[in-house]
Amino acid sequence: MHLHKYEKIWLTFGIGSLILFLAILGFTAFAFGHHPPSELATVDSQNLDKDELFSEPGLKQVGENDYQAVLVAQAFGYNPSTLEIPQGATVEFFVTSADVIHSFTIPGTNVNFMVTPGHVNTATHTFDEAGEILVICNEYCGTGHQFMQMRIEVIPQ
Amino acid sequence: MSQSSVAHKLPDKEPETEISPKDKTLSIVHIAIAFVAFLLGVFGGLLQGLVRGGMIELPSWIGYYQILTLHGVLLALVFTTYIIFGFFFAGMSKTHGAFSDGLRKLGWAGFSVLSLGTVIAAVMMLTNQASVLYTFYAPLQAHWLFYVGLALFVVGTWLSGAALLAHYFKWKKANPGQPTPLFGFMTTATIVLWIVASLGVAATVLLQLIPWALGLTDTINIVLSRTLFWYFGHPLVYFWIMPAYMVWYLVIPKVIGGRLFSSSLARLAFVLFLLFSIPVGFHHQLMESGISGFWKYMQTILTFVVVVPSLLTAFSIFATFEQTGREKGGKGLFSWLKKLPWGDVRFFAPFMGMLIFIPAGAGGIINASFQLNSVVHNTLWVVGHFHLTVGTTVLLTFFGMSYWLIPVLTGRRFTKHANRCGMVQTWLWAIGMFFMSGAMHLLGLVGAPRRTAYATYQDHPQALQWFEGIFTSHVTVAIGGVILTAAGILMFYNFIYLTFLAPKGETEFPMTADPIDTPHTPKYLDNWKLWIGIAIALILFAYTIPIYDMIVNAPPGSPPFSNLIK
């Protein structure tokens, strides 16, 4: 098959930039652990009250400035519906669903992941600024989807 | 003159073969249904834009998500599928000769099953028993008839696809050793892609959703159903774009008065689409649990490989433009551009589609970029993205095709009036999309969710800014939507005019003469067993282990939640 000289240059440049691009993505993923949220732990979505972690949703302090937030998403809200955390705290969120597919999304941050029934999903975020943070569901979950939200109160220190 | 001698003697013009009148009927019926679905879908989009912008409220008997479901199904599934099959039946009849009575009957059978499925699904959506959006993610549950409608829709396309494939392979058998005509080659690649891909959606609908919706099974494996859906969902977009590329490769060169640059490169591009557009569905599932980061990354790599055939296409098309422009006396670095027929909507509408594919493709690369996806996932950015790709690039190309295809089929003339209406339509669509899709992209970057009715989240400042920006605002989206609706109505008028009102006469079916390298087309490019084999091997590589894990390590399944959608 004949390739024109310009086409060879064009394809070499194009494919070369793709390889470079994928190498950067792969390097950050596997060397720095920057994977998208891909938790593999499972739960019984219809018996969360018997689950070790999700029977008592809420905030737990696990280190000097580190917290674990356990949340259950259910149409059309989250349990608990507010969290209070001190400014500067790093929070690891563990979220699952008691019914349909939802998301746990803090607009304007990288905390934006799907919450599927039967699985746990996670993200970690450090709250550097005080204020009332909005959390929304951005996956259609029924007629009241647009009402699904919660708040994170970041208390100034 | 038969097709086989065309490849050897390479005349400047294809022989002017008439499409058989019976094949014309089959084709125009598909196209007519496509445009009715288009008009209804556009009105759905208008209502969504106005509601979301806080400008109107819907009456209580109709729901936002009901309209959203209708909008998605009518435009993304019904319009595209019908117009693509209409194009294929006409083009295959033109380039491979009339369909035999048996194959044409098979085509009508496909049409009937497809349409029965469409009607059943439409009734369920209109009666608000299937407001699950066009992705129908379980465990939200629609009425079981909705899923039956979807299954019939897919089976109908298989029957029609079988008629097209049989017609192509009949030609191949009758002309051993010849490179097959490009139209047939590309149709075959597209149909094979569609059939292999739709096995995934058929599996989830037939084996998971229908038994579950009928109450035969109590629960459903959510991650598996999503994976089977997206195994289908991504190649679906190539099922839209490949016929649009066929217009670019095969029709546009003739419209501008030239011939296609290369036969081998065109075939190679289509083979690469077939190979690399299926094993990539995880890039729609990057933000969900239950799939390991390793397999997500593998499919991300395969996703980027599919950029290569798009690079090939960009080169081929612009090389054809330059070659033609220079043959017509264009000189210097860019002055050949002036020789292109900018006032001819058959060229201009698809050209605008090509131009808009540049930012659209760049946005797609961002979406598929693994970790970066968390910034835009499920935000309006994504909606802005596919309103550029399918909503502009593919649609404007199909519109550009309709201006000649409809009068060819109805025995009418493509008039100056039709051309003028088409030019206005193209500009209106591009301008409307600039506002709507542009604002959607920016709103997505500041976190505005997709698929969400009017909401200010108790007047939270973060949500209020989505209404208060000068350009970055739901109001801009609505304004764009109004312009697009005007353009949509004009397009429907163009369809009515070319079908019923234009003066009787002849219209050309523009089809490029065979590229000069056609006799040197490598034989392996026409070896379908090879390509289908490699495609299956790639699919098995990308999906076997993750799907095995999803089944073996499945959590307890989900019961239905049908009350949430009513």
Give one DSSP letter per residue of B297-359, joined into a string: HHHHHHHHHTHHHHHHHHHHHHHHHHHHHHHTT--TTTGGGGGS-TT-HHHHHHHHHHHHHHH
Of A29, A136, A138, the CB nearest to B370: A29
- Fill in the amino acid letter for B58: L
pLDDT at B65: 96
Structural fold of domain B26-323+343-565? Cytochrome C Oxidase; Chain A (1.20.210)
Q: Among this protein's residues, is B238 annotated catalytic?
A: yes
Please tell me the distance in Å from B343's CA to the nearest CA on chain A. 29
Active-site residue (options: B79, B153, B386, B543): B386
**Is B558 in contact with A117 (Cβ distance < 8 A)?**
yes
Contacts of A117 in chain B (CB under 8 A): 139, 222, 555, 558
Question: How far is it, in rounded angstroms, from Cα B482 to Cα B474?
Answer: 13
Structural fold of domain A45-155? Immunoglobulin-like (2.60.40)
Residue of chain A nearest B521, judged by CA positions: A1
**Is B371 in contact with A34 (Cβ distance < 8 A)?**
yes
At A130, give phi and psi (nearest 5°).
-75, 160
Q: Among this protein's residues, is B385 annotated catalytic?
A: yes
Q: How many CB atoms lie within 10 A of CB A146?
A: 22
Q: Count Cβ neighbours within 10 Å for each residue of B400-437 and write b for 16 or more, e otherwise.
A: bbbbbbbbbbbebebbeebbebbbebbebbbebbbbbb
Q: Within an 8 Å CB–CB cutoff, is residue B137 touching chain A?
A: yes
Residue of chain A nearest B550, judged by CA positions: A40
Q: Checking DSSP bridges between strand A149-155 and strand A82-86, what pairing results, if any? A: parallel
Domain boundaries, chain B: 26-323+343-565
Q: Among this protein's residues, is B412 annotated catalytic?
A: no
Of A47, A134, A138, the CB nearest to B460: A134
Contacts of A15 in chain B (CB under 8 A): 308, 311
Q: How many CB atoms lie within 10 A of CB A13?
A: 11
CB-based contact B411:B20 (threshold 8 Å): no
Residue of chain A nearest B452, judged by CA positions: A146
**Is A18 in contact with B378 (Cβ distance < 8 A)?**
no
**Is B304 in contact with A21 (Cβ distance < 8 A)?**
yes
Contacts of B450 in chain A (CB under 8 A): 138
pLDDT above 70: percentage of residues in chain A: 99
Indicate the helix (H) or strand (E) that contains B558.
Answer: none
Identify whether A80 is preceded by a cis peptide bond (ω within 30 of 0): yes
Q: How many CB atoms lie within 10 A of CB B397?
A: 27
Q: Within an 8 Å CB–CB cutoff, is residue B366 touching chain A?
A: no
CB-based contact B374:B465 (threshold 8 Å): no
Residue B547 or residue A15, greater confidence: B547
pLDDT at A92: 97
- Chain A, chain B: beta-carbon pairs less than 8 Å apart: 221
**Is B296 in contact with A145 (Cβ distance < 8 A)?**
no
Q: What is the pLDDT of residues A41-64, one digit of tens each?
A: 999 999 999 999 999 999 999 999
**Is A14 in contact with B140 (Cβ distance < 8 A)?**
no
**Is A22 in contact with B300 (Cβ distance < 8 A)?**
yes
Q: What is the 8-class DSSP label of residue A90?
A: E
Return the closest-CA partner of residue B564 out of A147, A69, A66: A147
Q: Within an 8 Å CB–CB cutoff, is residue B162 touching chain A?
A: no
Contacts of A31 in chain B (CB under 8 A): none
pLDDT at B460: 96
**Is A117 in contact with B226 (Cβ distance < 8 A)?**
no
Active-site residue (options: B52, B96, B387, B441): B387
Average pLDDT, chain A: 93
Domain boundaries, chain A: 1-35, 45-155
Give the B window 532-561 contacts with A, CB below 8 Å.
553-559, 561
CB-based contact B175:B4 (threshold 8 Å): yes
Across chain B, which has 566 residues, the per-10-residue mean pLDDT values are: 39 64 97 98 97 94 96 97 98 96 98 98 96 95 97 98 98 92 97 97 97 97 97 96 97 94 91 93 94 92 90 90 89 86 97 96 91 93 97 98 98 97 98 98 96 95 95 97 98 98 95 89 92 95 95 96 91
pTM: 0.95
Does ipTM come in above 0.85?
A: yes
Contacts of A75 in chain B (CB under 8 A): 561, 564
Of A28, A46, A75, the CB nearest to B556: A46
pLDDT at A21 over 80: yes
- Which residues have C-beta within 8 Å of that of residue B360, sequence separation ≥ 6? B385, B388, B389, B392, B393
pLDDT at B48: 96
CB-based contact B341:B318 (threshold 8 Å): no
Question: How far is it, in rounded angstroms, from Cα B360 to Cα B244?
Answer: 15
* Three-class DSSP category at A125: strand
Q: Which of B69, B131, B132, B289 to mutate to test the interface with A (most CBs of A within 10 A)?
A: B289
Please tell me the distance in Å from B116's CA to the nearest CA on chain A. 27
Q: Among this protein's residues, is B283 annotated catalytic?
A: no
Return the closest-CA partner of residue B260 out of B313, B219, B302, B197: B313
Strand A102-105's sheet: what is its strand order?
A82-86, A149-155, A131-136, A102-105, A112-115
Question: How far is it, in rounded angstroms, from Cα A129 to Cα B51?
Answer: 33
Q: What is the pLDDT of residues A66-75, one digit of tens each?
A: 999 999 999 9
> What's the pLDDT band for A1 if we cut at 50, 70, 90?
low
Half-sphere exposure of B452 (CA within 13 A, CB side): 29
Instruction: Give me B99's structure tokens.
Output: 């369909």
